[in-house]
Structure 1
Amino acid sequence: MFNNSQKSKGDNKAMLPSSTINIIGTGTTIQGDIVCEGDIRIDGQVTGLVSTKAKIVVGPEGEISGDLVCQSADILGKVTGIIKVEDLLFLKGNALVKGDVYTAHFEMEPTAKFNGRCYMDEQAPADHQKHGKTVLQEAE
């Protein structure tokens, strides 16, 4: 089944999947940052930053205390922290989000709850803070 006799030792890339899916299962608790290239689904608990260049899915039992940075996200569980999504953020089912959101597109089902501010312009979170300080300093 896992016979490598036909492949040379330098040809290990042929066995790797073309896309990576990471899963944090129910009952798993992670304290620390998660940085990955592919999609990630979180059904457990994470305390820390979750960052990917692809999609994040937070399952109905998933819970994140920390920031999210990704291309797109579907949230069905609980997230407490800043969410920065390049494309579409979708809050589904009984999702609960507490924190500010920076995204290009935002969709939310009627049963989801969102407590925070939503920014849908092209400025990054740091740019908003710098701009706010500049305006206050100029007013003084």
Structure 2
Amino acid sequence: MFNEKKENPNPVGERNIIAKNSSLVGDIKSDGDFRVDGKIEGTIQTSGRVVIGKEGYVSGTIDCTNADIEGTFSGKLIVDQILSLKSTADISGDVVMGKLSVEPGAVFNATCAMKSAVKVIQNGAEKTKKTA
């Protein structure tokens, strides 16, 4: 009874790591978070957070809920909530996000679109509509 292991039914707490000196070519889909300290060429799709470390490099597409970038990204970046660029970040390509935080020193050479919540009032009831 007390020695039974409880399985975590919520995989969002899981972390996936692409370590330094590792490289991956291909597409990744997961519900967990990702940390990239190596090199990825392809697509990362997750409902969690993506972190690209200082020496990390991603070329391709990222579709995630939140992202913290310290390294290099090139391609299409879709972040549903908050994109945070640290001072060492180097971003190029197309970016769509909910909110953007940029530290001084970050390089941001991208076309940028910010999602916003638009309130639509119909028949006295408020509805929130997301736009890009």
Check whether TM > 0.5.
yes
Tell me which of 16, 22, 46 is aligned to 1:28: 22
State the alpha-carbon separation in 1 of the partners of residues 50 and 69 from structure 2. 8
What's the counterpart of residue 99 of structure 1? 93
How many residue pairs get aligned? The number is 114
Tell me which of 20, 37, 55 is aligned to 1:43: 37
Deviation above 6 Å: which 4+ runs of structure 1?
A: none
Higher helix share: 1
- Taking a change above 3 Å as real, the CA distance of residues 109 and 33 of structure 1, as seen in their structure-2 partners, is same
What's the counterpart of residue 57 of structure 2? 63
State the alpha-carbon separation in 1 of the partners of residues 58 and 99 from structure 2. 21
How does the TM-score come out when normalised to structure 1?
Answer: 0.76
**How large is the Cα RMSD of the aligned pairs?**
1.7
| Alignment gaps of 5+ in structure 1 | 1-5, 8-12, 125-140
What's the counterpart of residue 122 of structure 2? none
Q: Indicate the percent of aligned positions where both proteins have the same amino acid.
A: 38
How does the TM-score come out when normalised to structure 2?
Answer: 0.80
Higher strand share: 2
What's the counterpart of residue 136 of structure 1? none
Tell me which amino acid in the other structure corresponds to 1:69: D
What's the counterpart of residue 6 of structure 2? 14
State the alpha-carbon separation in 2 of the partners of residues 80 and 37 from structure 1. 23
- Taking a change above 3 Å as real, the CA distance of residues 41 and 17 of structure 1, as seen in their structure-2 partners, is farther
Tell me which amino acid in the other structure corresponds to 2:59: S
State the alpha-carbon separation in 2 of the partners of residues 15 and 123 from structure 1. 37
What's the counterpart of residue 81 of structure 1? 75
Considering only CA atoms, is the larger Rg found in Structure 1 or Structure 2?
A: 1
